[in-house]
Amino acid sequence: MQGTPDRPSSAPDDRWRILRTQDDLDRLGETESIFALSNGWVGWRGTLDEGDPCDMPGSYLNGFHERRALNYPEDGYAFPQLSDTVISAPNATLVRLWVGGEPLDIRIGTLRTHEQVLDLRAGVVERVTEWISPAGQGVRVRSTRLVSLPRRRVAALDWTVEPLDDAVDLRICADLLANERVPQRADDPRAASIVHDPLIAERHHVDGADGVLVHRTEHSDQRVAVAVAHRPSAPDQIAISTDATPDRIRLTLAGTVAPGERARLTKYVAYEWVPVDGTAAVDLADQVTAEADAARETGFTTLLAEQRAALDTAWRTADVVLEGDEELQLAIRFAMFHLIQAGRPDGASSIPAKGLTGNGYDGHVLWDTEQYVLPVLTYVAPGVARSALRWRYAHLPQARERAAELRLTGATFPWRTIGGQECSGYWPAGTAGLHVNADIADAVLRYAGATGDEKFRAGAGLELLVAGARLWRGFGHFTDDGGFHIFGVTGPDEYAALVDDNAFTNLMARRNLRGAADAAERYPEAAGRLGVDPAEVAGWRAAADAMVLPYDAKRGVHQQAAGFTSQPEWDFAGTGDDDYPLLLHFPYLELYRRQVVKQADLVLAMLRCPGEFTAEEKAANFAYYEARTVRDSSLSAAPQAVLAAELGHLDLAYDMFAESVLQDLLDLGDKTGDGLHLASLGGSWLALVQGFGGMRDDRELLSFDPRLPDRIERLAFSLCWRGHRLLVTLTTEEARYELPDAPADTAVDLWHHGEQVRVVAGTPVRRPMPQVPDFGAEPTAPPGRRPTHRAAAV
Amino acid sequence: MQGTPDRPSSAPDDRWRILRTQDDLDRLGETESIFALSNGWVGWRGTLDEGDPCDMPGSYLNGFHERRALNYPEDGYAFPQLSDTVISAPNATLVRLWVGGEPLDIRIGTLRTHEQVLDLRAGVVERVTEWISPAGQGVRVRSTRLVSLPRRRVAALDWTVEPLDDAVDLRICADLLANERVPQRADDPRAASIVHDPLIAERHHVDGADGVLVHRTEHSDQRVAVAVAHRPSAPDQIAISTDATPDRIRLTLAGTVAPGERARLTKYVAYEWVPVDGTAAVDLADQVTAEADAARETGFTTLLAEQRAALDTAWRTADVVLEGDEELQLAIRFAMFHLIQAGRPDGASSIPAKGLTGNGYDGHVLWDTEQYVLPVLTYVAPGVARSALRWRYAHLPQARERAAELRLTGATFPWRTIGGQECSGYWPAGTAGLHVNADIADAVLRYAGATGDEKFRAGAGLELLVAGARLWRGFGHFTDDGGFHIFGVTGPDEYAALVDDNAFTNLMARRNLRGAADAAERYPEAAGRLGVDPAEVAGWRAAADAMVLPYDAKRGVHQQAAGFTSQPEWDFAGTGDDDYPLLLHFPYLELYRRQVVKQADLVLAMLRCPGEFTAEEKAANFAYYEARTVRDSSLSAAPQAVLAAELGHLDLAYDMFAESVLQDLLDLGDKTGDGLHLASLGGSWLALVQGFGGMRDDRELLSFDPRLPDRIERLAFSLCWRGHRLLVTLTTEEARYELPDAPADTAVDLWHHGEQVRVVAGTPVRRPMPQVPDFGAEPTAPPGRRPTHRAAAV
């Protein structure tokens, strides 16, 4: 992209660029997700400017959705009757081009060159295409897109066309288009539910070259406004006109462009949505128009500079240096880029499972956010983690109502939602997944511990912890032997449901109960306002202390849930490669009752609650469950990587890490077209930091027990800890801990391999790398289910 | 109904008549179900002839249905995508009347008298209404309906109108009406799914006063034809005309009827349905036309005589004499009448849960049939039981396919169906209810044992038993301790799901395994043709012998399923009367994980497999589960009655029996309008015969251990046993066993209270009534959930 006069120029650095060319055109949907841009508020899928070919258009606004009815063949009490589903705001990315009357379409004519680049430092997608029409007329099209990180409502597109040789007759139509057709995916329970023509036009207005559309939704009662301010720059002979209908604003440039000339068009776009009973349509139109105008005033060059500056700041903490494997170095940066841009630090908004990169899972937020994304963002962008937790807090009243509807105590947060209501249409794997409440509590405790944010801890944090503790205390029960049990719930593993004493749920509930008790004792006055008294706190502690962790003494392993190890084994010998993912080829009747694990469950418990297990128990458990875990979920590889690393199976850990971080770049699950797997991308950071860095955060201080696989020569990452950036650098010889940005006498205490050390600003602490633990040979995976050997792949 | 010259006259006997009058008009739907007539092939709901008011019209043909799509909010592998739902054949019961231009409508004008009578011996519904129109013109309308027991395709209606005082101007429209509007019930998971306008007209034809309609369904590919042959009889001044449209054939009689005159119309109706690729429409029309003509030739008087004769034969075995409680004497006859008319002995058709009396449960056949209806019909109408089992056998190929789809061995019969495909839309309570397969095997063993039907036993019976045994052997598994387990299924209690080692399922599976092994050894050649070899049989026996029955040694009770007694208790103190049925007020999340029982489950196991428990175990179990059983299902009272009787709680048993037998006559569940609860009606016979008669059939010979509650002075019932009718008469003093119809030297061996006795024809065996067992005070039910005290009600 060098040489464009009004853009910052720099030598391309392939360690920071994702490139796709004409060789990748058969992966269109995947490419659209990978090149998606977002600022946590607005998301643009990486569709082609000309809009066709397109796998799935998408312009998402965080929280903007429609509602649809859920119909059950056999309904039941408290089955959700409505579900939120993400819908697109009007699409402002479109710049259609006709060359000598032929539409630019890279599938026809001659594609001389075609590149799309995601620049991870600039925060833009650049595109250049040289195309010769079927009639032989050649053009070069360039564009640069950004979704502004500092300006939450703003996105912009800078688009240029020039003749390759002879003068060409051009028509350029820059559209803002509502109710664009979205394709229905084939039958797959994980795909989105499409609502056609969801937007009802309220207002459309054109002013010169600019325009605004206002629509509302039919059922979710939301209003959305999009304004486009155009800056065309074209030879004088080019005629410019606009036209508007309720669903489309179009700016048309038409005329002949001579060799050496070019036509350029910059679109400055501003979005906003509000509840329909909020801002009126005309006022909302004015707001976004003003914001688009302001962006145009600012100019594209400045927007680029702002973007770069924002990313420079973000990367200081978020970057991970991984030397020894260029592909994965780039992949982890790609992962971190998408995590950075998925959330915003300044409000109460969450991060859907696909971010704003696609409509998979109907655009819902799931427990993935608290267990796979916030454990990363807490350390690299704590303000974003706080925003996501404040979003949960904002929906606490709904969670309390839902608990009351379910005849439960405390609060039950939805398994999947956009607007805060439970949207799960299959309760055994949705509503019964009560662990989401403990996952939220865990994220609260992590955020509070890492930041020391007292205001949050004594306010929203306390209230969330108390609501969770009340749920668990009421839901669980004591048996005659004094044990405290949680029966009839579903843990992380979706090849089991409605089990008793799921180890993950029980341990995380214990963490919630104790965390709430600690917080209530720390802030007695605030707790008192919530009606918490010492007797209630004592009840939480009693339940936590008596919490049962099912164990099979004969096999010497913990049970994922009570009775798990008595279940029949899965017939792996009779299961073919084509039978995966199992959920598409076997009924739940078979999956639920057998010892087959979709995704890390007890292994995730060992990651989140490491102090509850001895090293020997971890080794035995890991081997047992590794042999039964098929990894049909992208949530699985990362926790497996962490435990594999902890137990010294470093090659396995590295291969698991690779699978997690390449999930979307290689479309390993064949679902990337529906949006990126943010949990898998977040998990890849966990695999590095918690796996090879051996970081654990279940105690007062961070601890590290680093061990590097052969392939990694150097691994460096940063963690925000109580307001300071702790930089950890690992090589085969040593671990170095330092506070590069902190004032002179700042000190941070941490654990390194069982030794408590104090890191003082300006004085890096160096320790030799610990011996890699030896728990014998790598455990065996089910046939064909081990991740690809990365060492062999090199 | 005396005095109608051309009908057999008899003094009304209130022990054989169900009467409803104008006082019952607020129970219209209930009345329509109670007065439903059926012959197991054709069913007419007891709607008013004039068709309005009407709660729900219904003219059902066994097996005739439409298919509708099942849509899941979150679909899953092998979730059924289509469901059968019963639809009405064209309605031939309608005779609309206008009096001086006013339509006869009992809600307006003056209703001087209105009676509907179900005559249980004549097998007809008679109706007489004296009505004065708003304009003051009075008429008496009488009608007699029958659905012919000896002629499976034929039903008939004899209808008369006469002036009460002055001459009246009448218009009579006798309709045959397709696609009649059926009301949608309010949201209730147990109601039917209505398909509107399901019939596509293929042919309509009028010939004089007669007509025929042929339609087909859109999705289930069935063709239905209905012919009506009219015999009008009216004064000469009455004009008669016909008219026909694709959905309606109408015969109109219009003119003035003078005092002393009357207009009479007899409708002879014939039905048939076939697959659309079976008989052509024109041929089917000819068939039913000929059948209707033949019925008319026979004449209504002869049809009545045939009906009476058929019922005289049926009642010989089916009647139950219960002296001491007139209400329940009538109620048990009502129950037996509906059981008699629900099935046919001469084919392969089953009995839906509602018979042909309503569209509840979508007209599906459920396990109710094998566990609550066939255990009665095996002894009172064994040919009907055989037909129902042959229907299962006819669907064995589909059951094998379904097992293969579920990746299971053997065969899995549908939880609910009309056409043989699984139609359950909520798999945890449908597909997972695998016990339906053992229930079928149990019914096979019972039928074979009671009849000695070698042809069935060696053919269809063997094949059904083998298919079931193969399912259980493949589905269950051995654990290290040598136990054989069945995990992850749902037993009878619908307030639990996906449990391990449900006692009922395990014991019934054991019965299936052993029954299959016995049958395979008895018919080695036939078994060999099914691929059964001695090793497979040994495998079945090994699994049966090792079958685990979960027991809580501390509490000294069996567990309904593994871990049941460790579950949290239900908060009965916090549950209000309005909270029942619990399923409408609590989520499955709560119901499943707690010790609350919807319906007899372990108690049913103790009834079906009595030899598996000691008397003390039964007493302990009964008391434990009685305290936790809320009887939110009409399937529950009868088995509870049997066990209560066995344990000497005779008042409780009687009250349970009363609840079961009055289920529909008093509409105890507020669902009778959707159709009768045949399982509850069948269960009431079980309560008497197995409860107070103490009959058990799990051994080679029948056994009896009778005990009568105070309210019953004499109880007499018959059982078909190996081709003979065994009459059992119980009084407070003695039990008498005799073979009233058998040839001279016929002998039947049986057990009476542990003594083996031989009953020889002509020589009744008399034994004193055994002492009533004493297991202490009556067990406590959950607050407010004991059935009404019948003794107190007198």
Give the pLDDT of residue A794. 44
Q: Which residues of A touch B584 (CB under 8 A)?
A: 77
Report residue A286: phi and psi, to 5°.
Answer: -60, -40
User: Which comes out higher in pLDDT, residue A7 or B195?
Assistant: B195
Contacts of A788 (CB under 8 A, 6+ apart): A655, A658, A659
Distance from CA of A223 to the nearest CA of B (A): 26
The structural domains of chain B, with segments of one domain joined by +, span: 15-314, 319-476+491-714+774-793
Alpha-carbon distance of A635 to A650, in angstroms, equals 19
Asked if residues B682 and B375 have their Cβ atoms less than 8 Å apart, the reply is yes
Q: In the predicted model, what is the mean pLDDT of chain B? A: 95
> Is the bond leading into B382 cis (omega within 30 degrees of zero)?
no
**Among B72, B488, B497, whose Cβ lies nearest the Cβ of A593?**
B488
Mutation target to probe the A interface, by most A beta carbons within 10 A, among B68, B82, B407, B412 is: B407
What single string gives the DSSP state of each residue in A680-708?
A: HHHHHHHIIIIIIS--B-SSSS-EE----
Fold held by A17-70+79-309: Beta-galactosidase; Chain A, domain 5 (2.70.98)
| pLDDT of res. A130 | 98
Task: Give the active site residue among B370, B494, B659, B738.
Answer: B494
For B291-307, the pLDDT digits (tens) are 999 999 999 999 999 99
Would the CB atoms of B588 and A76 count as touching at under 8 Å?
yes
State pLDDT tens for residues B648-680. Answer: 999 999 999 999 999 999 999 999 999 999 999
pLDDT tens-digit readout, A596-633: 999 999 999 999 999 999 999 999 999 999 999 999 99
Would you call A593 and B431 a contact, using CB atoms and an 8 Å cutoff? no
Q: In DSSP terms, which residues pair with A320 in a beta bridge?
A: A717
Contacts of A480 in chain B (CB under 8 A): 554
What is the predicted pLDDT for the residue at A6?
A: 42
Distance (Å) from the C-alpha of residue A270 to the closest C-alpha of chain B? 34
B35: left (phi over 0), alpha (psi -120 to 50) or beta: alpha
- Out of A83, A584, A588, whose CB is closest to B427? A588
Q: B15-314: what fold?
A: Beta-galactosidase; Chain A, domain 5 (2.70.98)
Report pLDDT digits (tens) over B465-505: 999 999 999 999 999 999 999 999 999 999 999 999 999 99
CATH code reported for the domain at A319-698: 1.50.10.10
Across the interface, whether the CB atoms of A406 and B590 are under 8 A apart is answered yes
Chain B nearest CA to A155, separation (Å): 35
What is residue B793's predicted lDDT score, i.e. its pLDDT? 46
For residue A196, the model assigns a pLDDT of: 85
* Percent of chain B clearing pLDDT 70 (strictly above): 97
Q: What's the pLDDT at A194?
A: 72
- CA–CA min distance B486, chain A (Å): 9
Q: How confident is the model at residue B379 (pLDDT cuts 50, 70, 90)?
A: very high
B646 is catalytic: no
B592: pLDDT strictly greater than 70: yes
Chain A residues with CB-CB distance to B554 below 8 A: 480
Q: Count CB pairs under 8 A between chains A and B.
A: 135
Closest to A332 (Cα-Cα) out of A650, A54, A663: A663
DSSP 3-state of B252: strand
Question: How far, CA to CA in Å, does A347 sit from each of A388, A392, A447, B255?
Answer: 8, 11, 16, 82
Among residues B790, B771, B614, B786, the alpha carbon closest in space to that of B708 is found at B771
Q: What is the mean pLDDT of residues B405-411?
A: 98
User: Do residue B431 and residue A587 have CB atoms under 8 angstroms apart?
Assistant: yes
Q: How far A570 CA lies from chain B's nearest CA (Å)?
A: 11
Cα–Cα distance between B452 and B346 in angstroms, integer?
A: 18
Contact A77 B428 (CB under 8 A): no
* pLDDT (0 to 100) of residue B192: 61
- Comparing alpha-carbon positions, the chain B residue that sits nearest to A498 is B498
Range from A183-192, A193-202, B176-185, B775-784 carrying the lowest mean pLDDT? A183-192
Tokens (6 digits) for B676: 């009768």
pTM for this prediction: 0.95
Token match 């295409």: residue?
A129
Cβ distance of B74 and A426 shorter than 8 Å: yes
Residues of A in contact with B593 (CB under 8 A): 487-489, 498, 500
Tokens representing A702 are 């961070």
- Return binding residues of A for substrate: 367-368, 598-599
Quick one: average pLDDT of B233-243? 95
Q: Give the model's pLDDT for residue B771.
A: 96
Q: Which residue of B has its CA nearest to A567?
A: B487
* Cβ separation A78–B593 shorter than 8 A: no
> Could you give the CA distance from residue B445 to residue B449 in angstroms, rounded to a whole number?
6
Q: How far apart are CA A244 and CA A240, in angstroms?
A: 14
Contacts with A477 from chain B: Cβ below 8 Å:
568
Picking from B489, B562, B589, the nearest residue to A432 by CB comes out as B589
A427–B589 C-beta distance less than 8 A: yes
**Nearest residue in chain A measured CA to CA from B79:** A587
ipTM of the shown complex: 0.94
Q: How many CA atoms lie within 13 A of B129 on its CB side?
A: 26
Give the pLDDT mean for B65-80: 96
Q: Do B78 and A477 touch (CB under 8 A)?
A: no
Confidence at residue A13, expressed as pLDDT on a 0 to 100 scale: 80
By Cβ distance, the residue of A485, A554, A592 closest to B498 is: A592
The model's confidence at residue B14, banded by pLDDT at 50, 70 and 90, is: confident
Give strand ranges (E) for A504-655: 551-552, 557-558
Fold classification of B319-476+491-714+774-793 (topology level): Glycosyltransferase (1.50.10)
Residue from A272, A494, A536, A646 carrying the catalytic annotation: A494
Q: In degrees rounded to 5, what are phi and psi of residue A368?
A: -45, -40
C-beta of residue B38 within 8 angstroms of C-beta of residue B44: yes
For residue A555, what is the nearest residue in chain B, using CA coordinates? Answer: B480
Residue A8 pLDDT:
42
Residue of A nearest to B487 (CA): A593
Q: What's the pLDDT score for residue A10? A: 53
**pLDDT value of residue B713:** 96
Tally Cβ neighbours within 10 Å of residue B108. 12
Q: Report, as ranges of residue numbers, the positions in chain A whose pLDDT lies below 50.
A: 1-9, 792-794
Helices B637-646/B678-686 angle, 10° precision: 10
Confidence at residue A793, expressed as pLDDT on a 0 to 100 scale = 47
φ/ψ of residue B108, rounded to 5: -120, 180
- pLDDT tens-digit readout, B336-360: 999 999 999 988 899 999 999 999 9
What integer pLDDT is reported at residue B39 of this predicted model? 97
CA-nearest residue of chain A to B555? A480
Instruction: Indicate the annotated binding residues of B for substrate.
Output: 367-368, 598-599
Instruction: Quote the minimal CA–CA distance from A601 to chain B in Å.
Output: 19
Burial of A450 (0-12, 13-18, 19+ CB in 10 A): buried
- How many whole angstroms separate alpha carbon A112 and alpha carbon A132? 7
Question: Does A74 contact B563 at a Cβ distance shorter than 8 Å?
Answer: no
**CB-CB under 8 Å, B70 with A70:** no
- Tell me the three-class secondary structure of B266-309, residue by residue: EEEEEEEEEECCCCCHHHHHHHHHHHHHHHHHHCHHHHHHHHHH
| Dist. CA B312–CA B319, nearest whole Å | 10
pLDDT of residue B13: 80
